[in-house]
């Protein structure tokens, strides 16, 4: 069980004592994000308050810098987007770590279009910073980087979408994200408050339902 986060002195980035072990996926993620940071001209973290109490965490005794800032090029759906990583880099596709939105578009599922609309509301015209999950994989089957995304406001997008009922907690390939406890608590709060996809007027938590016949709350 991960321990309680401990705020680093004089910095918004926090340390955490955990039982995590350094994994090859984390090493690859760290190197790749350092390279992205170099391409963007620096990885300074000027935002205060890491996501309303959600810390930036890594293996025991480490702190992770957020890579970026990166301009958001477009939102694909409720849990994926494309960012510009700098001159000559082209778009980089991102997948939100630790959460999953209902499918949108053709064959869409209950609350998929609402999740996409909320992601667009939060991300259109914005810049973001990203951190890979040291507890999981770096890239998904579609070639997207699996990351935590911080908005310019200092809020973590993954957590914000979860606590407002637009996505559900998700374990990619069955591996819990490094934030699984925090995310589980946020999901439970959204469920009890019947927010978003948890409302009886929308999906009642059943996001496997097709869009047809579902009220759009």
Catalytic residue annotation:
95, 103, 144
Please enumerate in sequence order all residues whose Cβ is within 8 A of that of 44, keeping only pairs 6 or more positions apart, or say none.
Answer: 65
Tally of CB atoms within 10 A around 58: 25
Peptide linkage before 69 cis (omega within 30 of 0): yes
- What is the C-alpha separation between 50 and 148, in angstroms, rounded? 11
Terminus-to-terminus CA distance in the chain, angstroms? 36
- Count of beta carbons in the 10 Å neighbourhood of residue 154: 17
Q: CB-based contacts of 182: which residues, under 8 Å, 6+ apart?
A: 54, 159
Q: How far apart are CA 150 and CA 168, in angstroms?
A: 18
| 70 touches 76 (CB < 8 A) | no
Which pair of structure tokens corresponds to residue 132?
């890979």
Residues 61, 67, 72, 77, CA torsion sign: negative
Q: Which residues contact 185 (CB under 8 A, 6 or more apart)?
A: none
């Amino acid at each position: 069980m991960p321990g309680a986060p401990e705020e680093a002195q004089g910095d918004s980035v926090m340390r955490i004592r955990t039982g995590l072990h350094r994994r090859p996926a984390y090493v690859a993620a760290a190197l790749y994000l350092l390279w992205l940071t170099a391409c963007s001209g620096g990885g300074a973290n000027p935002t205060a308050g890491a996501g309303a109490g959600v810390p930036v965490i890594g293996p025991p005794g480490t702190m992770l810098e957020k890579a970026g800032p990166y301009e958001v090029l477009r939102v694909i759906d409720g849990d994926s987007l494309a960012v510009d990583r700098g001159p000559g880099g082209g778009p980089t596709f991102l997948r939100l770590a630790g959460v999953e939105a209902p499918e949108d578009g053709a064959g869409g599922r209950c609350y998929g279009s609402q999740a996409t609309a909320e992601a667009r509301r939060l991300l259109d015209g914005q810049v973001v910073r990203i951190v890979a999950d040291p507890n999981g994989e770096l890239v998904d089957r579609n070639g997207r980087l699996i990351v935590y995304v911080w908005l310019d406001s200092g809020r973590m997008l993954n957590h914000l979408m979860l606590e407002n009922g637009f996505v559900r907690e998700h374990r990619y390939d069955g591996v819990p994200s490094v934030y699984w406890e925090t995310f589980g608590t946020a999901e439970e709060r959204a469920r009890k408050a019947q927010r978003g996809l948890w409302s009886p007027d929308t999906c009642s938590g059943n996001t496997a339902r097709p869009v047809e016949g579902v009220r759009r709350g």
